[in-house]
Amino acid sequence: MNFDEFFYSNLLQSINKNLSFKIKQIGNKNDVLNKLVDINENKIDSAFVIIDRDYEGLTCTIPFQNRIIRTYGYSWENDFWTEELCYDVINQMSPLKSAGDNFKEKIKRSKYRAAKIGLLDAAGQTAGFPFIPKNKKTYGFSIHPKNSFPISKQEVIRILKLAKEKNFLSCPIFKSVITEGKKSPSERLIQGHAWEYIVTVIISHHYKINTGAKSCPNDIIKNTAMSLWKTNPSRYLSQACITHFQKELFTATS
């Protein structure tokens, strides 16, 4: 079972303990939407699909249909890696002691600034110009976990300058995306893999400081997170997220 299947299996079971679920990953978003068409056309009442919300309402629209569940945040990683889970993970791996408050603030500050960058990037995508070229190493922006603000203000300013250079700030569509995005919670503005990258880098940094270890493999962080999350998913999900999935599951199974 991969991480996606683990998350959804435990999430849905916690939302409705009276139902049993079998989760199977079938491909990319287009594959999932094609499967949704098949489910609806053939009236397969026992099946539904789950997809990432992505930038729904900002750069894309997902047609409303029965038998579909959307994530609360941009993707499942945003719903999984909550501030509370991050805090429990580092405490499980290496008690924070007096550094606890500093760790919490780093997560909160990173979330705030990553959301600003994500919103600018989403607006840039509407003009065919995403501002943060992504790769598996940096996800398009720098993060320095030893700093009180792991994502610097300069990183946000750098993206904003690019928007000004492209004359996007006066573009009605660009401005509309920014206006709408400001109404969204941070979880819907930060791309999921980027958010996971941010929190694991911060957790890894604090683990090495607290233990003197030279490395902290991501698999250890993820497995610790999965173990904690499985014991009590509702502890780590926000109330808004729980309510969202309750409604989505009801619609998908009605």
Using H for helix, E for strand and C for coil, what is the string for 94-130?
A: CCCHHHHHHHHHHHHHHHHHHHHHHHHHHHHHCCCCC
- Shared-domain flag, residues 104 and 71: no
- Shared-domain flag, residues 128 and 232: yes
The one-digit pLDDT tens for each residue of the chain (254 residues) are: 788 889 999 999 999 988 888 998 888 888 998 999 899 889 888 899 999 999 998 998 887 678 999 999 999 999 999 999 999 999 999 876 655 668 999 999 999 999 999 999 999 998 888 887 666 566 778 899 999 999 999 999 999 998 999 889 889 999 999 999 999 999 999 999 999 999 999 999 999 988 899 999 999 999 999 999 999 999 999 999 999 999 999 999 88
Please give the Cα distance from 53 to 61 (Å, whole number): 9
- Shared-domain flag, residues 85 and 128: yes
Q: What is the pLDDT of residue 100?
A: 60
Residue range of the domain that includes 7: 3-75+243-253
Number of domains in the chain: 2
pTM of full prediction above 0.75: yes
